[in-house]
Amino acid sequence: MKNTNNAILRIILLVVMAYHLLLGAVTFLPAETAIKISRPLFGMVILDSGQLFYMSRLFGIYAAIFGLLMGICAIDPQKCRRLLIVGSGLFYIRAFNNIAMTGYFQTTFGMSMTRIWQCIITLLVFGTLILVFLPKNENK
């Protein structure tokens, strides 16, 4: 069972890694390309702005680094338990932030409630899956 749980956790972490690396890469595309694909990928209508583009690149760097960290955790989840707990916590924080920002997402980015809740549920599911499949602490 332990090997099965580790294999499932590794798959989850690799999916998280791939998504966050893709998210990070999108922010480094030319602005018009990133704006075009933000609607189908994220359900957002984004207006071209030098300030927004700068901030999105910063976000993209953090997203890519988070993805890399989750990929590193996939190599040996037992050694990365604490980092996985932090990663799970970040998913929960992002979910609760999205709940708090629901109105803002609707008015500023034209996101539908369905899309917003899809994002929130996805964040909660990934945060929970990491905790469910987290290896037991063998140091006890």
Residue 21, domain member (yes or no)? yes
DSSP code string of 38-100:
HHHHHS------HHHHHHHHHHHHHHHHHHHHHHHHHH-TTTTHHHHHHHHHHHHHHHHHHHH
Q: Are 27 and 34 in contact (CB under 8 A)?
A: yes
Residue 137, domain member (yes or no)? no
Residue 35, domain member (yes or no)? yes
Residue 138, domain member (yes or no)? no
pTM of the complete model: 0.87
Q: Phi and psi for 43 in degrees, rounded to 5?
A: 70, 25
Question: Residue range 65-92: average pLDDT?
Answer: 97
Domain ranges, residue 102? 2-132
Residue 139, domain member (yes or no)? no
Our count of domains for the chain comes to: 1
Residue 76, domain member (yes or no)? yes
pLDDT tens profile 94-116: 999 999 999 999 998 899 999 99
Question: Residue range 58-79: average pLDDT?
Answer: 95
Residue 97, domain member (yes or no)? yes
pLDDT at 128: 98
pLDDT tens profile 24-62: 998 888 878 887 887 787 788 887 777 777 888 899 999
